[in-house]
Structure 1
Amino acid sequence: MVSDKTSIIRARDVMSKGIVSIDGIATASEAAAKMRSEKVSYLLVNKRHKDDAWAMVVVQDFIKKVIIPGRSPSEVNVYEIMTKPVITVPADMDIRYVARLIYRAGMRRAPVEDCGELIGMVSLASLILDNDLF
């Protein structure tokens, strides 16, 4: 455990800075193409209005909701397969609590929010693989 407050690692310290997003009306085919071109395993789904909740679509959504049921990806919209709402984490949250929150919510990643704006993405894997925590 970290006992010195100045050495606490925050979500902003471990997040990836790029967020790739898509509109919910896009097709699963368009979303998969965007994921391939951007080399990501998730897409943040844009809010419809300022009071709306964030959503996310991940590779597992395509597998469970498009491929296994045998649906045509060009006939399925992202809003049909996305997860909503998505839990966001504050940029200044201690990563111990970030890890606990994401894990207990059954998620692998979460957007990082600062003053109402999404500024990055943190994943359970990045907490272990991309940092000198161990």
Structure 2
Amino acid sequence: MIEKKLVRARDVMRKQVPTIDGMATARDAANMMKEHQVSSLIVNKRDENDAYGLISIQDLITEVMIPAREADMVNVYELMTKPIISVSADMDIRYVIRLLHRVNMRRAPVEENGHLVGMVTLTSLVLDHDLF
């Protein structure tokens, strides 16, 4: 029997995670997503007791483009999902996948000692890593 190596969130996370302030505009968020070629951004905590937020392309489409709102007049905090579930860098990737599936999320920030250190996405887990 071949024993598989334990894979943790830190082993498969994207380490360069673009973040944005909640006071930024929807246009700022769209431009940052284009620049970094990502489909979502982590919204920074306001302080140590706050939680991370997340804004996605889907949020921009459904909350700004479809209702034809002016992108410069809408702040990220109005669109973001918050709080979002984050996972520990040491969490077994099997549990990360189960958690994301159960709560119907496609991505989660990875934290270590209360600090953002990366991002895991279900898409990258399947396409970018040899987990099977």
Task: Give me the TM-score of the superposition, normalised by structure 2.
Answer: 0.94
Q: Which runs of 5+ in 1 are unaligned?
A: none
Deviation at 1:78? 0.3
Partner of 2:100: 102
Partners of 1:73 and 1:87 in 2: CA distance: 27
Identity of aligned residues (%): 56
Residue identity in the other structure for 1:27: T
Give the corresponding residue for 2:128.
130
Letter in 1 for 2:27: S
Partner of 1:25: 23
2:89 equivalent in structure 1? 91
The aligned length equals: 131
Q: d(CA) in 1 for partners of 2:126 and 2:49?
A: 34
Match of 1:111, as an amino acid? P
1:47-82, CA deviations, whole angstroms, 9 ceiling, x for partnerless residues? 111101110101000011111111111111000000
Q: Deviations over 1:92-116 (max 9, x none)?
A: 1111110011111111110011111
Match of 2:14 in 1: 16
Task: Return the alpha-carbon distance in structure 1 between the equivalents of residues 111 and 102 of structure 2.
Answer: 19
* 2: CA distance, partners of 1:16 / 1:38: 12
**2:119 partner amino acid:** M
Matches within 5 A, 1:112-131: 112-131=110-129
Q: Find runs of 4+ consecutive structure 1 residues off by over 4 angstroms.
A: none
Task: Give 1:42-121 correspondences, 5 Å limit.
Answer: 42-121=40-119
Structure 2: tracts of 5 or more residues without a match: none
After superposition, the CA RMSD in angstroms is 1.3
Q: TM-score, normalised by structure 1?
A: 0.93
Give 3-state SS (helix, strand or coil) of 1:19's partner.
coil
